[in-house]
Amino acid sequence: MLKSWHHSSLAVRDLDQAIAFYRKAFGFELTFEERDMTEQIQSIAGLPELSCDIAQLRTPRSDHVLELIAFKHDGAASEDIGERPLRPGSAHIGFYVDDLDATIARVEALGAVMIGEVTQFCDGRSVYYREPSGSFFEIEQQHEAAP
- pTM more than 0.75: yes
The answer as to whether 40 is a domain residue is yes
The answer as to whether 50 is a domain residue is yes
The answer as to whether 1 is a domain residue is no
At residue 57, the pLDDT reads 97
Which residues lie closer than 8 Å to 90 by C-beta, 6 or more apart? Answer: 84, 136
Q: Which of 102, 19, 96 is nearest to 54 (CA)?
A: 19
Domain with 93 in it: what CATH number? Answer: 3.10.180.10
At residue 5, the pLDDT reads 76
Q: Which of 133, 67, 59 is nearest to 96 (CA)?
A: 59
What is the tally of structural domains in the chain? Answer: 1
The answer as to whether 147 is a domain residue is no
pLDDT in tens, the chain (147 residues): 656 778 998 989 999 999 999 999 999 999 999 999 998 988 887 888 888 999 999 999 898 999 999 988 765 334 444 444 455 556 788 899 999 999 999 999 999 999 888 999 888 998 888 899 988 888 999 887 656
Report the SS3 class of residue 15.
Answer: helix
The answer as to whether 107 is a domain residue is yes
Domain span at residue 16 reads 7-142
- Directed axis angle between helix 15-26 and helix 100-109, to 10°? 150
The answer as to whether 2 is a domain residue is no
Quote the CA–CA distance of 21 and 123 in Å, as a whole number.
27
